[in-house]
Chains A and B, each alone.
Chain A
Amino acid sequence: DAGITQSPRHKVTETGTPVTLRCHQTENHRYMYWYRQDPGHGLRLIHYSYGVKDTDKGEVSDGYSVSRSKTEDFLLTLESATSSQTSVYFCAISGTSGRTSYEQYFGPGTRLTVT
């Protein structure tokens, strides 16, 4: 399995509080992604990164920000959590040197509940 960890794995927070989720990789992959998964919507891309300090928005980026200060860490921040952000969040990585297919490898997920 690709070396991806997510923390925390479970979190319950109150509406209006800031929340930061962390994705950590040990593979030195260039690309990192944050997805959310909700019933009836499948996985949807929130933000992605194509290098240190290089990030861009995905299809459901409103209410989320990201940062990547070093290759191995990609942080997802909910500045002011809302109940609509209750979801399971997955981090993914891709881009192994020497490969051309750039398949993505996913972390175990973080289950976030906003009350």
Chain B
Amino acid sequence: DAKTTQPPSMDCAEGRAANLPCNHSTISGNEYVYWYRQIHSQGPQYIIHGLKNNETNEMASLIITEDRKSSTLILPHATLRDTAVYYCIVRVAAAGGTSYGKLTFGQGTILTVHP
């Protein structure tokens, strides 16, 4: 799976958009970009994923550059509860059989949302 690079920490004011970048310059054509977050002491939480098109769900938006070498996770209106470690992961989506789609977690970005 391709390696990712994220800033170690970021700050954001409550109510503002939080834009978390991720670099994955060695991504392959069949690899997806996944975002997870982990709030202190809890299990990681799936946020969103995409292949090449921009994606949006109730939690966030994912913007993937045209060359797919980088992406940005956008939390449109950050709240204090969004303070967490955010992980960007690139991997091939499991195709069934014994393929297990292992997730390789890096160090992630610590997002701190301030009042």
Instruction: Decide if B101 is an interface residue (CB 8 Å cutoff).
Output: yes
B102 touches A105 (CB 8 A): no
Chain A interface size band reads: 20 to 34
Instruction: Count chain B residues whose beta carbon lies closer than 8 angstroms to a beta carbon of A.
Output: 22
B100 touches A31 (CB 8 A): yes
Q: Which listed segment binds B: A11-19, A65-73, A95-103? A: A95-103
Closest partner residue, chain A, to B35 (CB atom) = A103
* Cβ-defined partner of A102 (8 Å) among B43, B45, B93, B106: B93
Closest partner residue, chain B, to A58 (CB atom) = B102
Q: 6 tightest A-B contacts by CB?
A: A106-B43, A102-B94, A43-B105, A42-B105, A103-B46, A106-B44
Binding site for A on B (CB under 8 A): 32, 34, 41-46, 49, 93-94, 97-103, 105-108
